[in-house]
Every structure is written in structure tokens, then in C-alpha cells.
Structure 1
Amino acid sequence: MARAKIAFVTPGTFPLPSQKSSSVERVVEKLVPLLIPRVDASIYGRSSRLLGKRGMLGGVSVFRYPAQNKRLYLKRIGQSIKANPPDLLQVENRPRYALKLRRMRPESKIWLNLHSSTFIRKSAISPEQLVRSFRAADRIIVNSEYLKEDVASRVPECADKLHVVYPGVDTERFQSQHSLAGASLRAGLRKERGWTGRSVIVFMGRLLAIKGVHHLLKLMPKLVREHPTALLVIVGGAFYGSKRTTAYVRQLHRMGRKLKGHVQFVPYVPYSEVPSWFLGADVAVVPSGKREAFGLVNVEAMSSGLPVVATRAGGMKEIIEDGVTGYLVDPDHVVQEMRERLLELLRDERLRLQMGLKSRERVEQHFTWQHSADQWMELFQNEIQL
């Protein structure tokens, strides 16, 4: 029996593979190869001077096209698909693409995979066009129950199309600090970075107001007075793959300068270096606003054996077990509650250890990329049987 042909269409923002990609491309890069050999998969994405027009990624064919002009990008993808029709076409995080490809390929089976609410808000797409885009999709995959509810509230008539497939983490790359190998590497990292004897709190992500980094800088003065060895390490920039700044980033740096010796800014780092920043830390913080659909940094930190203190918002409530793998705080009282929870963890090494071990255990049981691939395949197999 021939394997089903599945084509995955990325937004065209970053090429694959890439160390500078957003979480959308990262999910595609990690999940799709795990569907091989159960399906014959291909990926459509942005071209790059460093990569050929066609390549392979873990047994998956990758087709690359210039994407500066999105209309031409989709046109070229449509032509390729016409020449080699897939059994299923999955569009990643761009509802408009699903609608446009449906017009090009009215007979195709099309799925839409939403990674966030960014491109379904009124600022990105009109309510009328959103409805048409959802109607164009046969199935709509979302990455959390939170996002499922959000999407269903916007277009109730398409609620029965919605299915949750959780993203995952590479547990081999994000090794636990509680393993022998992880503990050894962690000791070297902390010595190299001058973190010996410090209580290190790490934030990893883009420096955007919605990510709540300013809350961390507001809570630090009092936290430092009560726990003088505390060090907040902020890893990331305002843009993927760039060290450009914004007014918000400059504001954060001004706040940080008042806490000399207790705040460290680390500009954007390539994804290959991300695991080391979690491995060397003691606690991870995710003070995001209410629209955080999932947040890969949560499972990456948990895989590294860290307790995570995050806002009780969006899909993070589905990842972090409050009081077990970390703490969830009220998004309307982040400064006070997050400071209290951090202080509790920094003062109690046994509690940190216990929660860190539970974090790793939860990831292994629920949030690996293999779990994601199996959930996707189950959904696809159910589709075939309909």
C-alpha cells in the first residue's frame, strides 16, 4: 500500500533548517521527520542563499522558494502541488494561505495548523475573511485547549473542525540537570559564566511587552534585598535572529542598570545554544500575557529539570502543574506573586530539586516530539477512516 503524501506549507518567514527560525518553523522541523516512514512528507518554505532550492530534512523533501512576495510564494507552491498532488496539504499558522490554496486547489484536502492567536486577531485578518479561511480548511489543529476555545469563540460554526496536538521538546538536546551528564555539564557552565554561588533565574524569549519581562525587573529590587545572591538572566532580543533594539528593549536595559550585578542581558542566541542557558539556571520564569497559546520555553525549561514560575494564562495552565512542577501566578498580580514564589524556590533547594525532577518527568510523559507526531498520526488515521 502506497504511503499517503502530505505537504506542509510554512509561512515563508524563515528557511528550514535554520538556527534563526521562529517557533512555527521549529515545530515543523522537529515534528514532520518523525512522521516518516508512516507517510511520505514534504515541506514548502523560504529559500536561502545558503541552501539549495531542494533538500532533505530527516527523510523529508524540502522545497524552497523566494518568499519576499507572499503572493508569488504561494503561486509557486500551488504550481508544485499541481504537478505532484499530495493527499493532504497542511498550512502552518496562516489562515489566509488556507483560503488562497483552496482557491488554487479546490479538490485538495487542506488542514490549518494554528500556533498562536496572532494571525486570527482583527489586526491581522477581518472577521469575514477569517470565517472564509476556516471554512476552506477541512481540519484546524491548535496547540492547546486554550487556543481551541479561543478559535471556537471567534468562529463557532467551525468548532467541530478543531483538534489539539501539543508541541514537544527534544529531551536529548534539552538534557536534565539531574542526570549525571547534565550535572557535569551544568557545573562547567556555571563556573564559566561566573554563576557559582548565585541563584540564577532565567528568562528565555523575545523581548516584547506581551512577554512581561518588565514585570521581572520590577520584582527584582525587593527580591534581591531578601535574597542577595539572586541573578536574573534575560536571554533574547526583540527580533528572531537579530540584535536590533526597540524602545521597549531600551526601557528594559534602563531598568536593569539600576540592579547592577543582579541582572544580565544576553542578546539573541542561536537555538543550538538555548539548552545551555536552561541547564545552568536554577529556576525558569515565563511572565507572559494572557494570549500565550502554549510557549515552547515552558517544556524546554522543564526538560532541563527546572521548576517554572509562569502566569496562569493561556495554554501554560495545561503544561505546568501548579505546586508540582512549578507555580502559576495571577497575570494581574505578577510582580508580587512571582516574587513570592521565586523567593520560596530560591530559599528551598530541596523543593527546587523535587519540582525540577517532576518537571522532567512530566515532559517525558506528555511533551516530547514523538508524542506530538503520534497525536498527529492518530488524527490523520481517523481522517482516512471517515
Structure 2
Amino acid sequence: MSSHLVRHALVIIPNSRHANFAITSLVDTFSRACEPLLGANGRVSVTYGDPPTEAQTPVQADFDGSPLRNPSAEEVARLSTAIRRHEVDFVLGLDIPTISPIYSAFRASGVKSVVSYFGAPMSALNSGVRLLLKRAEIAVRQRGPDHFVFETEAMRSTGVHGRGVPLERTSVVLLGADTDRFRPDPADCWYAHDTLGISRDRKLVFYSGHFEPRKGVAVLMEAARVLCNTRGRRDVHFLLLGNRENEAGPFEAMIAGTPAAEHVTFGGYRNDVERLHRSCAVGAIASTGWDSMTMSSVEMQASGLPLLVSRLQGLPESIEDGQTGYTFTPGSGEELATRIAELVDNDLLRVRMASAARARAERFLSRHRQVNELSAVLEQEHRRNVRRLGRG
């Protein structure tokens, strides 16, 4: 087997295996990106943050639930034994820590490369002495990942200008959607209306994501109040997915007893998201706290939805402003309402942006492109580490 090929690539997901669809999507992407690195009998294994159960594979029984940030000496020794037992020589982890004793144990046990993929910001931005201290910590404590992959330039900035990671140890690989699954289809133009009991004379504004405060669901409700209560619109309807249990309650209260209440549907979690997209006129992500390129943003564009996003951190990188959608001031329900009305009232503009959004997704935001770019980064890093270790 060639020296740069991998015997066993271990994908580490610190989250629960039941966390959400985005995690499932990333696991598939990671596994496919590792495959070109494998030798003739090489394999890829995935471990999760859940404690091991009897039903899991030997690899998962040894690695699932392992602490990564503050492991005890006993836990580090157990991980070292597991690395040797399973002949792991490559590790790709999601949001794994910058500094941890596990890395020294990994390398001493045969791991040649460790890459950390960040789907969340690494740090608040720093400057001056504080940033210098962060950089010094990274330089002195050489026990972290060899390379860091970020989903946007804004997210990379949190590593380089926040945590002090050297720029040369970073790459950006944009998220990708399954463009075969998420695609326009005129046959589903009334699917959401008919499935969810929404009048066909309404154009749908779509949101899918978490309902925590920073995700800006309150801003969407404010836009609904502006359009339906203040401006008297009856041809717009908001469709929001992702609410669990009673999470929609506070937002329903914002519009209770007003005309807007009849123009908002909370759909919870569904497995027909791609078909719902095809009935919608526009997508919206109104985050008010940290956010970057989200899986929903690339899926909506792949489905041909013009996208409205907060002008906040990495979200603007998900669209081409003025071509595939618009950015707006974070927290401004009024500005969001105006942009929605502009797209709802101008069929030619909406169709042009829808076509451009789909074309952008096919070119820059496909799962195929993401896998290929990530695989190239992983192979380049692993080859470099194998050469370095050979010289050592």
C-alpha cells in the first residue's frame, strides 16, 4: 500500500447520532470525502458523542461517548489502546477542540493526520495582546489538529483572528446540498398549500431551522405583522419548520388576535421539505445572533428559492446579493417585509432570482462539489504529514 493511503479513517462526531438532519448530511459528506484516501482494504468508521451500547460496532463501542476536551489520564490511555487496536491512521472530527491531550495520544498511537471541520464559530474575534496570546498558545502547545476546515470565510476569521490559528493551517469549503433531491419541480407548485391547508392565492415565505432566539424567528413574526396587519396584505403566508413541542408558543403570541395569525403556519419537523420548497416563493433566514452559511440556505437555493438573509457574519456568503436574493439589516422586520413584498409583487424579478439561485447552487453549493473539495484538502494534508513524518 502506498505510504500516503489510509488504513482506517475515523470520523468523530461529538454530537448525538440523533442530533438533526444537518449532522446526518455532514456524516455522509465526511465519509465520502475520506473514501479517495483509502488503501485497498481501507475503511471509514463514524463515532458519536452518545455513550456506547451493545448494538454498536466494536469501533463505536471503543470510541462513542469519549470525552475530547478534558479527558482523564485513564480515558486518554483507553483511546490510545483503541487507536492501536483498530489501526486508525487518519482522524476527521467535527468541531473537535483546538488543544487537548488526546492529540498527543493519537499521534503516539499511529495517527498521522488530524483534521478538524468547524460547523460553528471557533471564538469571538480578538485583537492586540489578546490575539497574540492566543497565537502563542497555539504555537507552544503543538497538540492540536494539523488542519482546520471552515464553512465560510467569516467562520475562518473566528479561527485565525479569534483563536489564533495560523492562516496556513486553514481552508474554506462551502456547504453543499443534494441538488438531485432539492430541485425545482412545477408538479409540486401547490404541494405545501394543499398538504398544509393554505389557500392557493397566497405566496409562501419559507423558513427552516432552530427556534432559539438568535435564529430570528421573532423578526419573521414582525415581518408578518408589518405585511398583514400594517400593510393589509392577504396574499402572503409564512411557513416555518423546525419547532419542537411548545417552541412556537411565544411567536404565536406575537401575532395572536391579529390578521397575521391567519397567515403563519408552524410545521414542526417534516421529511418532505424539498417538496414544500417547490410551493414557496421566497426563503428567509433572519438570524440576529451569530450565524454562518446554514444547510437550509443552500437547500433553499438548490430548490430555486430567492433567499433573504441577515447581513450578519457568514450568511451573506450564502447568496449573491442582488442576484440570488438580498441581505437586510439584522433585526429589521420592516426591511425584511419590504424585501418580501418586492419579490412577491414582481414576478419577473422573482423568477430571475429563482433561476440564478438554482444555477449558483449547482455550480458552487452542491454536495458533489463539497465532497470533492473537502477530499482534496484532506488528501493534501495527509500527504504532507506522511512526508513530514518520513523525514522525522
Alpha-carbon distance, 1:228 to partner: 1.5
Equivalent AA in structure 1 for residue 342 of structure 2: E
Work out whether residues 189 and 278 of structure 2, in 8 Å CA contact, stay in contact via their aligned partners in 1.
yes
1:203 aligns with 2:207: yes
Q: Distance in 1 between matches of 2:134 and 2:65?
A: 22
Structure 1 position 385, deviation (Å): 4.3
- Residue in structure 2 matched with residue 344 of structure 1 by the alignment: 342
State the partner residue of 1:262.
263
Give per-residue Cα distances to partners, 1:108-156, cap 9 Å, x unaligned: 3211111111x6469xxx9989955885111111111111112111233
Tell me the distance in 2 between the aligned counterparts of 1:364 and 1:328: 21
Name the SS for the 1:233 alignment partner: strand
Residue 149 of structure 2 aligns with which residue? 141
Q: Distance in 1 between matches of 2:255 and 2:285?
A: 18
Report the equivalent of 1:7: 10
| Number of the residue aligned with 2:367 | 369
Within a 5 Å distance, the mapping from 1:211-290 to structure 2 comes to 211-224=215-228, 225-237=231-243, 243-245=244-246, 249-257=248-256, 258=258, 259-267=260-268, 269-270=269-270, 272-290=271-289
Q: Quote the Cα distance in structure 1 between the aligned partners of 2:324 and 2:80.
A: 45
Equivalent-residue separation in structure 1 for 2:162 and 2:253 (angstroms): 39
- Which residue of 1 is the match for residue 197 of structure 2? 194
The one-letter amino acid paired with 2:190 is A
Cα distance change on mapping 1:261 and 1:190 into 2, 3 Å: same
Distance 1:275 1:342, change over 3 A: same
Matches within 5 A, 1:1-386: 1=1, 3-4=5-6, 5-11=8-14, 13-15=15-17, 18=18, 20-21=19-20, 23-39=22-38, 40-46=43-49, 52-54=55-57, 67=65, 78-95=80-97, 99-107=100-108, 108=111, 109-117=113-121, 120=123, 131=137, 136-156=144-164, 158-176=166-184, 182-195=185-198, 196-224=200-228, 225-237=231-243, 243-245=244-246, 249-257=248-256, 258=258, 259-267=260-268, 269-270=269-270, 272-331=271-330, 334-386=332-384
**In the TM superposition, what is the alpha-carbon distance from 1:64 to its structure 2 partner?**
7.9
Deviating more after overlay: 73-82 vs 185-194: 73-82
The amino acid across from 1:203 in the alignment is Y
Q: 2:134·2:163 contact (CA, 8 Å) conserved in 1?
A: no
Q: Secondary structure at the match of 1:154?
A: helix
Give the match's secondary structure for 1:95. coil
Paired with 1:170 and 1:112, the residues of 2 have a C-alpha distance of 23
Gaps of 5+ in 2: 385-392
TM-score with structure 2 length normalisation? Answer: 0.80
TM-score when normalising by structure 1: 0.82
Deviation, structure 1 residue 370: 1.3
Supply the AA of the counterpart residue of 1:153. Answer: H
Change (3 A) 1:368 1:151: same
CA distance in 2, matches of 1:216, 1:136: 40
Provide the rounded CA distance (Å) in 2 between the counterparts of 1:50 and 1:186: 44
Q: Which amino acid aligns with 1:310?
A: V
User: Retained in 2: the 8 A contact 1:24–1:92?
Assistant: no
Q: Answer whether contact 2:33 2:375 (CA < 8 A) is retained.
A: no
- Quickly say closer, same or farther: Cα 1:231–1:266, change in 2 above 3 A: same
Q: Shift of residue 22 of structure 1?
A: 5.5
Task: Give, as a single letter, the amino acid of the residue that structure 1 aligns with 2:375.
Answer: M
- Residues 64 and 324 (structure 1 numbering): CA distance in 2 closer, same or farther, change over 3 Å? farther
RMSD, aligned α-carbons: 3.1
Shift of 1:211: 0.6
- How many residues are matched? 357
Name the CA distance, whole Å, in 2 between partners of 1:168 and 1:134.
32
Question: Structure 2: how far apart are the matches of 1:172 and 1:279?
Answer: 13
CA–CA separation in structure 1 for the residues paired with 2:292 and 2:191: 35
After superposition, give the CA deviation of every residue in 1:183-232 in whole Å (9 maximum; x if it has no partner): 11333443232331111111111101111111111122221235321111
Identity of aligned residues (%): 18
Q: Does the CA-based 8 Å contact 1:168-1:372 persist in structure 2?
A: yes
Looking at structure 2, the residues matched to 380 and 49 of structure 1 have their Cα atoms a distance apart, in angstroms, of 28
> 1:222-274: per-residue Cα shift (whole Å, max 9, x none)?
2123532111112112xxxxx3435xx4321201323221111122x14x332
In the alignment, is the contact (CA less than 8 A) between 2:101 and 2:143 conserved in 1?
no
The residue type equivalent to 2:279 in the other structure is: G
1:361 aligned partner, one-letter code: A
The separation in 2 between residues aligned to 1:68 and 1:175, in whole angstroms, is: 39
One-letter amino acid of the structure 2 residue matched with residue 113 of structure 1? Y
